[in-house]
Structure 1
Amino acid sequence: MRKPDKPSSREPDREPRAQFAALPWRFDPKGAVEVLLITSRDSRRWIIPKGWPMKGKKSARCAAQEAFEEAGVRGHVSKRPAGDYAYEKRLKNGRLQKVRVQVFPLRVEDEAESFLEAGQREKLWLPPVEAARKVDEPELMVLLATFHPREAA
């Protein structure tokens, strides 16, 4: 006889779930704005650093921590989001989870050689309009294409 399943201690799914992302940016040597894209670990698509909420951390701080863990960048993160976008994340069980991502600009002041996910992702600095052409999510495309550091202050 089969034992009844234990109740799950996991939080029940919410539609959509929330994530927080950093939009790392800097000025190139000529003074033009560049933004940083990274590849996802599984599908190798171009994305921005993002992750799930962290207990005890405000959303902007979560975004900044993800930027360091996934891309090795540190700097000043805006407390105000530049916008948000939606996507569907494929979970390990194969199910698609709707996610709404708040995006916080992060002016990059330091780029580390060694960081948690170094070697697992590619990194690419591009002008915002070029970066917009590389991502798949339509709302993220618009956010990137229209990004300007004046709004990031």
Structure 2
Amino acid sequence: MAVVAAARKGRLRQRYDGEYRLVAGCVPYRVRASGGGGEVVEVLMVSTPNRADLVFPKGGWEDDEDVHEAACREAMEEAGVRGHIDRVSLGLWVFRSKSSSGGGGGEMSTSPRGACKGYMFALEVTDELERWPEQDTHGRRWVSPEDAFGLCRYDWMREALAALLARLSPPAPAPASLVLPPSAPEPAGVYGMAMLNAAADRALALC
């Protein structure tokens, strides 16, 4: 039987930005074949104790890891999944922590005291563990994007989900006036470097 690593506890290594506690999380997703020959997207949400709704895995970003490692760790600890993380974040949100919002967590905040800054990322799931560190308190459930919107507890969760779906949507065809002919030279100079840098920023990392 595989040994399940223990989840990190406490805040001795917690990162802060002034009074804001920094957290990282992700929207885990998968693309699978549908019965009609197409593809469908599903997202993974987790349950929390004493709540009927579901959330996306997230938690404290610690000082011995980068933000992508923190997001991947939280996905493994809370949902028991690993996969490819898109290093371009879905966004940054500010919300109250669990301790400052009566135990629920995640409500938007206008004061830095007791609040969190949270970076969310898209995680394409490639591996589901049979056992994971927090399975006694966090169950997991694959749902359609439509169901996920209804299950999201807070607006920021719906915004992160919308950002993921927009990223997964196929791009619109470029206007004919912008399409380069086959003999056109490759982009060069500053514009070309910008395109290369943008592509590099969107590289996927396995975690």
TM superposition score normalised by structure 1: 0.79
Distance 1:80 1:146, change over 3 A: closer
Q: Greater strand percent: which structure?
A: 1
Contact kept? 2:13, 2:62, Cα under 8 Å: no
Q: Secondary structure at the match of 2:44?
A: strand
Contact kept? 1:129, 1:144, Cα under 8 Å: no
* Residue in 2 that maps onto 1:84: 92
Give the letter aligned to residue 70 of structure 2.
C
Number of aligned residues: 144
Distance 1:45 1:99, change over 3 A: farther
Structure 2 unmatched ranges of 5 or more: 1-11, 104-112, 170-201
TM superposition score normalised by structure 2: 0.60
1:13 deviates by 9.0
Separation (CA, whole Å) in 2 of partners of 1:143 and 1:129:
14
Flag the structure with larger Rg: 2
Contact kept? 1:129, 1:145, Cα under 8 Å: no
* Residue in 1 that maps onto 2:71: 63
Separation (CA, whole Å) in 1 of partners of 2:65 and 2:162:
29
Q: Secondary structure at the match of 1:32?
A: strand
Q: Is structure 2 residue 21 aligned with structure 1 residue 17?
A: yes
Q: Which moved more, 1:17-26 or 1:42-51?
A: 42-51
Q: Is structure 2 residue 41 aligned with structure 1 residue 37?
A: no
Q: Is structure 2 residue 169 aligned with structure 1 residue 114?
A: no
Distance 1:14 1:42, change over 3 A: farther
1:97 deviates by 2.4
Separation (CA, whole Å) in 1 of partners of 2:20 and 2:145:
27
Q: What stretches of structure 1 move > 6 A for 4+ residues in a row?
A: 9-13
1:140 deviates by 1.4
